[in-house]
Copies of this chain bind each other. A is one copy, B any other.
Amino acid sequence: MSLTDSAAVDVARSASIASRQLATLSNTSRNDALTALHQALDQNRDTILAANARDVEAATKAADSGDLNHSVLKRLDLSRPGKYDDMLQGILDVRDLEDPIGKVTLRTLLDEGLTLERVSCPIGVLLIIFEARPEVIANIAALAIKSGNAAILKGGKESIESFTAIAKVVSEAIAGSRVPVSSVQLVKTRDAVSALLAQDAYIDLVIPRGSNELVRFVKENTKIPVLGHADGLCSAYIHADANIDTAVKVIVDSKTDYPAACNALETLLVHEDVLESVFPEVAKALIKKGVSLRCDSASQAALAKSLTTDQLSQVRSASEADYSTEFLDLILAVKSVTKTDSAESAVEAAIAHINTHHSKHTDIIITESRSLANLFMNSIDSAGVFWNASSRFADGMRFGFGTEVGISTNKIHSRGPVGLEGLTIYKYLIQGNGHAAGDYHDGAEGRKYLHKRLPINE
């Protein structure tokens, strides 16, 4: 299928129609479809892995000739030990989560016989755009079906063979369930993205899964709300009262546990009073782990006093751009903070720096003071603000959400790690028996609203 604009309309409209039917299915019906999906992917393992091997072969050639980054190979390869089984288990894990649909979150007696309820429901149609990882198809199909949303999936060209093979199995598995076939549609055409991003009449939410460039492209080319984050510029502030062990442990983990992750630390701010006490210990531990430091003059001068020549080879002067850079590597920008003309204290200078430079993802403070931590947590405008704990905890699995659609740096709807709940919205239901609003207008005979809060579970 060549995905012209009219074809994109057809895909989006059929997804929209399917989404309404999907919204009426019970949790059992949705779970049955996931069981069938799991079984089909298990039974067709050999076919899918053979298709995946063709993708890996083509990608290896492209990587060897310099046309593709080698890191893509690892993400593409479904035959790595445990990867296929993890994908299969993920479907069952999602199936066994609590039903996110039909939860009553508000119940009010407006008047005798007139009851208002707010009930969670699916959002409608999701468009998921991803790059190399083929297991995302199974993962997202499971999340969409569990949350009662229709999903349109658009994969990258590197995974085209895997994608085609998995798509066939997914469609056949769903066809045998009560979930409408158009609930999960897989679009392969290379130029489909722009046409799909224009379907704001039918698509309710776009979830890009891939590089920062992909997310930025999507955000700039659609009117549909986008759930995700383009950058992960996480910062830490070490206060004057910081415990040395806490500072070393948290900062080293934040920077080095997985430097390529969006929740890795990129900027370290240090109170001027501990530049020669806490900071050198942190710096030594980072340097030992292979981290290069890019320092402002005060922090660099402090290190010059206590580090060996060998250690200092990993320290250099920072440029202003370093404080706005997501290195995704063993590099850390360092800046000392102090009371200034515009900041009444070092912590206020740190807060101002972070709120100006960060990407609203996750920022942390190292301090022994609860009141200072509270000020920091209230003032920093990020999805996550952590006190004496690593930025690497910003993750749906670590938060105990069971699964994660992605991490959002949006300011509305969902923020931080987004689980199934982030794929739901609510509707207001009223049950009456012939109630008219005109009977409640002001005047001698107007009825009065009771507005009595009722228990949620009854």
Contact = CB atoms under 8 A, between A and B. Distances in A.
Contacts of A84: none
A35 interface: no
A221 B205 CA distance: 19
A377 B20 CA distance: 11
B449 A386 contact: no
A114 interface: yes
Contacts of A110: 393, 398-400
A220 B253 CA distance: 44
A124 B410 CA distance: 11
A433 B388 contact: yes
Interface in A373-400: 373, 375, 377-379, 381-390, 392-395, 398-400
A54 interface: no
Interface string A175-190: 0000000000000000
Interface in A14-38: 19-21, 23-24
Contacts of A310: none
A204 interface: yes
A270 interface: no
A143 interface: no
A412 B425 contact: yes
Contacts of A257: 436-438
Interface residues of A, number: 76
Interface stretch (A164-172, A243-251, A321-329): A243-251
B204 A23 contact: no
A66 interface: no
A435 interface: yes
Nearest to A355: B20
B246 A433 contact: yes
Interface of A: prevailing SS: mixed
A415 B387 contact: no
A416 interface: yes
A116 interface: yes
Given A245-B434, A387-B432, A388-B433, A20 B425 contact: no
A432 B365 CA distance: 11
Q: Which residue, A387, A428, A439, has most C-beta atoms of chain B within 10 A?
A: A428
A384 B108 CA distance: 14
Nearest to A203: B411
A415 B411 CA distance: 16
Interface in A401-458: 410-417, 425-440, 449, 451
Contacts of A245: 434
A66 B189 CA distance: 55
A351 interface: yes
A134 B422 CA distance: 37
A225 interface: yes
B451 A389 contact: no
A440 B398 contact: yes
Shortest Cβ-Cβ A-B pairs, 6 listed: A389-B432, A253-B436, A392-B437, A400-B451, A246-B434, A386-B430
19 contacts: A108-B399, A110-B398, A123-B411, A123-B412, A204-B412, A205-B412, A225-B225, A249-B434, A257-B438, A384-B429, A388-B431, A388-B432, A390-B435, A393-B430, A398-B449, A412-B412, A415-B425, A415-B426, A417-B428
Given A108-B399, A114-B393, A390-B432, 19 more contacts: A110-B393, A204-B412, A225-B225, A250-B436, A253-B437, A373-B431, A377-B427, A377-B429, A383-B427, A386-B431, A388-B431, A388-B432, A388-B435, A389-B430, A390-B437, A392-B438, A398-B440, A412-B414, A415-B427
